[in-house]
Amino acid sequence: MQDTEAGTFRTAKFRIGEVVRHKHFPFRGVVFDVDPTFDNTEEWWLAIPEDIRPDKDQPFYHLFAENADSEYVAYVSEQNLERDLSDEPVRHPKVVEALSQDGEGGWRVRSDLLN
């Protein structure tokens, strides 16, 4: 954990390029960005049913997400994610635009997109 004037941040459990799965809903995705704490609208947060609404003081992940029917972008709290160990190929079209395969079953930021 890192203490700052704004609060305490935990080290993110998942890295950019890692394939993860939602613990409660049937979708998986590839991490493409991480917020150290919640950084979305209050309206978005309040739309989550109170009994499953996550704490704001944890990492939140931007995912190139996919389910059986579609591909989309998701914003998910760390407490609701786990590593995806299925070895199933990722089909989200944005993954290959932003990331390249790392040779170990995951992804990394494409070197031509780095500053």
List average pLDDT for each run of 10 residues in the chain, which is 115 residues long.
56 94 96 95 93 93 97 97 94 91 80 65
9 burial level (CB within 10 Å; 0-12, 13-18, 19+) = middle
Domains along the chain with CATH numbers: 18-109 (2.30.30)
- The reported pTM is 0.85
pLDDT at 3: 47
Rounded to 5 degrees, what are φ and ψ at 93? Answer: -65, -25
Beta bridge partners of 108: 100
**In the prediction, which pLDDT does 6 show?**
55
The answer to whether 74 and 65 are in contact (CB under 8 A) is yes
